[in-house]
Structure 1
Amino acid sequence: MKKIEINKIYNQNCIDGMSSIPKNKIDLVITDPPFAINFKAKKANYNRTSSRVLSGYNEIKPEDYYDFTFSWMTEVYRILKDSGSMYVFSGWNNLKDILRALDDVGFVTINHIIWKYQFGVVTKKKFVTSHYHCLYVCKDDKKRKFFPFSRFKKEDKTKDGRSLHYKDKEDVWDIKREYWTGDEKTPTKLPSELIQKILEYSSEKKDIVLDPFIGSGQVAVVSKSLGRRYLGFEIVPDYYKFAKKRLDKDLYRIKKSK
């Protein structure tokens, strides 16, 4: 069995990869798993130029999504420390399978966070989806790490006199998506501001942060920049190479070569 090293990412199936990690090893998991919808990575929405979007997005069939989710979450539960926690992002399409699997594996749900972004895809016959769900869960709620004043002190106030730490800890997060115009990109990525917020509340320096579906490498890149150790898996070779290049060269964005 291949030994998994910290501060590395691997081009392999995360379930196989995680099986090589000893139990109770990981401090924090932040992940945005693949969708179970007919998602076209090169579709001309979100103002994308298709030539700059790396292809190869791996989809899971809707009928297989619960089993797939239960499998990877079971491995995460095994390798997560009792003091650790996990943040799982999901669109509304897969939410019921994500919630069922979290309960069935044995995770304790702490918060159901809504990430509100600036705009979604325009619709004619339904309301525009412009939010994402984030499930904040843990193994042991009594041992879980959380740093309530890591970003703002108790006495810090907004311009209109409101408590800043209270406002920052509300469960609706209004954070803009990032658009990497003219640069190489994967079809989806979490904004660095979102990842930084999670890292500051739920981890310390030197903690090991895992993303089983590393994609563009965002979680690892931001974790590294904040002095955390990182680990990740990505099954799509082009995404893996892109993420590894960002990590190896300490680059946040990569210009598209002509």
Structure 2
Amino acid sequence: MTAWLDQVFCEDALEGMARIPDRSIDLILTDPPYNLGKDYGNGSDQQSVEDYLAWTERWIDCALPKLKDNGSLYIFLTWRFAPEIFVMLKRRMTMMNEIIWDRRVPSMGGSTRSFSSVHDTIGFFVKRKDYYFDLDSVRIPYDAETKKARSRSIFVGAKWLEVGYNPKDLWSVSRLHREHAERVDHPTQKPLEIIERMVKASCPPGGVVLDPFMGSGTTALAAKRLGRHFTGFELNPAYCATIAERLSAPAQPATKKRKGVRVDAATEGVDQA
């Protein structure tokens, strides 16, 4: 039975994941509550530290059996809890990367008693050594100036020069401002560009992506756009309605790139909100 496929269920992930068969998921990609007091229409982001870490361990133990043996997991975290949650995952999986998402926040305001926090942490974990990973699908093309500078004979025919470079583990992509065409009514929506990079690299075409905390539905949308299947859960009925609307809408307008960073033509130059 595959009634759970290409569906986002408006229910608690800890209950819903029981319906998903073990070893049926190629990629778990999720942005769970950070426990920073955000209002998601419930108390999921307003727990004590002890309760939050215990809850995190429960959902991890529910989710990981669903992953295929060559599957992977990406998890968005805040630096406040990344060390503890990374330790939980290291006891169960192999850590491949700590990716830093530079949100490109403007240099204004912020704390006066510490350095301003302008990044999210992303953990990339795998179950075993033969995990699926398609680097060529996410390489960033070199610009014409760089290619010209590498025109000496020793570089002629070099694959890396033609197909582009590895995105590395520092991703500088603007968070979504209020005027952005991609933005919906969700306090912690992640850019489609970042999610699509993970899906292309770590889920084979036709594979299945699980997101236990769908939020605004970007994981489902990325999977659909890229020819992958998806499944997931979201507690808030309003967000479930947003997800359904995004999945049924026509394809988003094309974006352009400048030096490896996406810029939306309709909103270029608009400051972050």
Conserved 8 A contact 1:110-1:137? yes
Paired with 2:17 and 2:77, the residues of 1 have a C-alpha distance of: 21
SS at 1:150's partner residue?
helix
> How far 1:252 moved relative to its partner?
5.5
> How far 1:166 moved relative to its partner?
6.8
Paired with 1:157 and 1:248, the residues of 2 have a C-alpha distance of: 35
Conserved 8 A contact 2:195-2:219? yes
Query: Paired residue for 1:157, among 127, 131, 142?
Result: 142
> How far 1:92 moved relative to its partner?
0.8
Paired with 1:166 and 1:109, the residues of 2 have a C-alpha distance of: 25
**Does the alignment pair 1:76 with 2:75?**
no
Amino acid at match of 1:178: L
The equivalent residue for 2:271 is none
The equivalent residue for 2:189 is 189
The equivalent residue for 1:233 is 233
> How far 1:65 moved relative to its partner?
1.6
> How far 1:75 moved relative to its partner?
1.6
Conserved 8 A contact 1:90-1:134? yes
TM-score (norm 1): 0.82
1:49-100 Cα shifts (integer Å, max 9, x gaps): xxxxx85573241221211111111122100001110100101112123112
Amino acid at match of 1:131: H
Identity rate, percent: 29
The equivalent residue for 1:108 is 94
Amino acid at match of 1:181: E
The equivalent residue for 1:58 is 44
1:84-132 Cα shifts (integer Å, max 9, x gaps): 101001011121231122123x111111111111117622221111111
Conserved 8 A contact 1:69-1:97? no
Count of residue pairs the alignment pairs up = 235
Conserved 8 A contact 2:184-2:216? no
Paired with 2:87 and 2:235, the residues of 1 have a C-alpha distance of: 25
Unaligned runs of 5+ in 1: 42-53, 254-258
Query: Paired residue for 1:144, among 127, 131, 135?
Result: 131
SS at 2:84's partner residue?
helix
Query: Paired residue for 2:112, among 108, 116, 124?
Result: 124
The equivalent residue for 1:16 is 15
The equivalent residue for 1:210 is 210
Paired with 1:76 and 1:166, the residues of 2 have a C-alpha distance of: 34
Amino acid at match of 2:6: N
Which deviates more, 231-240 or 162-171?
A: 162-171
TM-score (norm 2): 0.78
Larger Rg: 2
